[in-house]
Structure 1
Amino acid sequence: MPIKIPLHLPAKEILEKENIFIMDENRASRQDIRPLNILILNLMPEKEKTERQLLRLLGNTPIQVNIHFLKTATYDSKNTSAYHLEEFYQTFNEVKTKKYDGMIITGAPIELMEFEEVDYWDELIEILDWTKENVTSTLHICWGAQAALYHHYGIDKYLLPQKCSGIFTHRVLDETDKLLRGFDDEFPAPHSRNTELSIAALNDHPDLKVLAVSDEAGPLIISSKDGTRIMITGHLEYEATTLAEEYSRDKARGIDIHVPENYFPDNNPEKTPPNRWRSHAHLFFSNWLNYYVYQETPFEWK
């Protein structure tokens, strides 16, 4: 089944060319089914690129999904046009009286800041607390995962000696967990961050379980025991060239950055990197939508 997106969203044309099954509001209104309503709080600077990455994965399940985009009211994005934000995004005040089957909170390139220094931290805390009663399951990505672990569980991030960037092998720690159903025992996933979480602190918390970990890149997938919160420290949603674009951007800014590990063929930035994590990315999002959202959400919110 498809995802339902706004009629003129720019990502629509790109996804249609990739044969991703999508529909606009006009066609969706003629289908007599109960779709899932998914809210995406997009904190990334290049919002259209992140939209495309997430919609590609959300559109590959047998469940019809209605997508709603959320922006911060206390911080204005400088990398996305005001028209795009006004046309396709809402603020928290506009949605806080509603219920959602699932929610995604993206990462943001602000991990070197203390959480309390972030312009929209108070607003994000309000949203995180709101999800407890108004969202069936929330998926937090990269900085969004670190923010959730800090606010909900008191687990802080710490600075790495150098940026963790590349494709790393991860071990499945609990093959019986529904989120990892169908996963290989080992699988690759992209990381791109300057901070890390303590695996000991995660393991010691009674309300958390670590589901996948890398010897090089640390914990990747963490879940609350009840499945209402999923935290992923990497970027399964990344496209094949995303890490290359980030590497070129940082080099152009004069940042002393190493070549992403296990990424470019022959470790040569002039060569086109392959996507080696696509199948597990689709499986992860499908499992989350099916087992943690669709199977758990009420047919009618009270």
Structure 2
Amino acid sequence: MTLLIDRDQGISSPALVPGEVDLARDHGGAELTIGLINNMPDPALKATERQFMKLLQAAAGPRRIRFHCFSLPSVKRSPEAKWHVESEYSDLADLKRHKFDGLIVTGAEPVAPELDQEPYWRDLTELIDWAKVNTRSTIWSCLAAHAAVLHLDRIGRRRLPAKCHGIFDCEPVTDDALTRAAPAPLKVSHSRLNEVAESDLTQAGYQVLTRSAEAGIDIFVRQYASRFVFFQGHPEYDALSLQREYLRDIGRYLARERETYPHLPVSYFDAETEEKLARFEKRVRHQRHPALTNDLPALTLRADIAAGSAAAALFRNWLQYLAADTKAPLLAR
């Protein structure tokens, strides 16, 4: 399915609704073709569509975006999610039959001990190789970033002592047009159990653009025929994304689907909410039952999280790069 995104279009539904979009009429002005390879787990599938659509809309200005959704066919799906992908998404084979200015590839929920043992590994590595020479730039988000550097340079990720989960202040470490005019510090959502080491990346020729004192590397890049941009975080997350994940993990703990109680997201809830959640945690550790989710306190986020502002600036710069004449100097120069 193809959608045409412009700044006056309402994006309120978490699902992609085909609608009646006249793609044949003359829209005028600049237009970019962007593909989203959405491999997120089923509960986040539609939310991810909405988040990237809203992010591209905020970043595009008067420019129109011709937006295609895909998903790797080897990603395991529930019957409902599979129906949604089959009925609303373009076939992955269409990717190689059309010209794409840019590509965004999300991570997927791990099901194997190692990334190169995942059932979608072959499809993903073929996509990585194709994107190197068939896009102006491709964004690899979270687990997709880890998978890409493993395939490209055999850089393995490392397990963290505890989940990196929260909103972190990230600072530019080099001058680059991708981060130009972005708010400082960039407040970026991270939600991951693993990381890639900066020393491994720099030795292999990657350039680190932003880093957090607490979360480590945030954005790094590598130039091929396409400029590959890697996010260890989730710039697309809206204000409530981390809350949904945190509540999901509490539910899994109470249902005995996980053994450890989740840590609070860093710099996310206000002080009063953190106190209430600490009391709730103490209670459920002594009385573990799924029904206790009904007793969760009201949650209030910190006022300074600024969800989305950093991502809008980054994606605005990315779209400007994609729109530049192919003979113009590369973004990094």
TM-score normalized by structure 2?
0.78
Partner of 1:223: 221
Deviations 1:155-201 (A, max 9, x none): 11011111110111111111x30000102442221110000110111
Amino acid aligned to 1:294:
A
Query: Distance between the aligned counterparts of 2:109 and 2:76, measured in 1?
Result: 15
**Structure 2 unaligned residues grouped into runs of 5+:** 278-297, 328-333
Partner of residue 27 from structure 2, selected from 27, 31, 34: 31
Partner of residue 324 from structure 2, selected from 295, 298, 301: 295
Partner of residue 316 from structure 2, selected from 286, 289, 301: 286
Counterpart of 1:180 in 2: which secondary structure?
coil
Query: Distance between the aligned counterparts of 1:203 and 1:112, measured in 2?
Result: 28
Moved more, 260-269 or 192-201: 260-269
1:171-182 matches, cutoff 5 A: 171-174=171-174, 176-182=175-181
Partner of 1:276: 306
Q: Is the 8 A contact 1:168 1:217 kept in 2?
A: yes
Q: Which protein shows a greater Rg?
A: 2
1:119-134 matches, cutoff 5 A: 119-134=119-134
Partner of residue 59 from structure 1, selected from 42, 57, 60: 57
Q: Is the 8 A contact 2:157 2:196 kept in 1?
A: yes
Amino acid aligned to 1:182:
A
Q: Is the 8 A contact 1:101 1:297 kept in 2?
A: no
- The 1:35/1:243 distance shift into structure 2, 3 A limit, reads same
- The 1:199/1:101 distance shift into structure 2, 3 A limit, reads same
Query: Distance between the aligned counterparts of 1:273 and 1:205, measured in 2?
Result: 39
Partner of 1:260: 265
**Number of paired residues?**
282
Partner of 2:138: 138
Partner of 1:104: 104
Moved more, 149-158 or 121-130: 149-158
Cα deviation for residue 112 of structure 1 reads: 6.9
**Structure 1 unaligned residues grouped into runs of 5+:** 6-10, 16-22
Cα deviation for residue 116 of structure 1 reads: 1.6
Partner of 1:20: none
Q: Is the 8 A contact 1:187 1:277 kept in 2?
A: no
Counterpart of 2:239 in 1: which secondary structure?
coil
- The 1:39/1:234 distance shift into structure 2, 3 A limit, reads same
Query: Distance between the aligned counterparts of 2:208 and 2:12, measured in 1?
Result: 37
TM-score normalized by structure 1?
0.85
Q: Is the 8 A contact 2:160 2:194 kept in 1?
A: yes
Amino acid aligned to 2:78:
K
Query: Distance between the aligned counterparts of 1:296 and 1:143, measured in 2?
Result: 31
Is the aligned partner of 1:250 residue 2:280?
A: no
Deviations 1:259-293 (A, max 9, x none): 111110013554321442321111011111112x1
How much is the aligned-residue C-alpha RMSD, in angstroms? 2.4
Query: Distance between the aligned counterparts of 2:71 and 2:99, measured in 1?
Result: 17
1:38-49 matches, cutoff 5 A: 38-45=34-41, 46-49=44-47
Deviations 1:189-214 (A, max 9, x none): 111000011011122222x1000001
Q: Is the 8 A contact 2:35 2:100 kept in 1?
A: yes
**Identity across matched positions, percent:** 31
Query: Which structure shows the higher strand fraction?
Result: 1
Query: Distance between the aligned counterparts of 1:49 and 1:273, measured in 2?
Result: 19
Partner of 1:8: none
Amino acid aligned to 1:251:
I
Q: Is the 8 A contact 1:98 1:134 kept in 2?
A: no
Q: Is the 8 A contact 2:140 2:229 kept in 1?
A: yes
Counterpart of 1:128 in 2: which secondary structure?
helix
Counterpart of 1:253 in 2: which secondary structure?
helix
Deviations 1:246-268 (A, max 9, x none): 11111111132111111100135
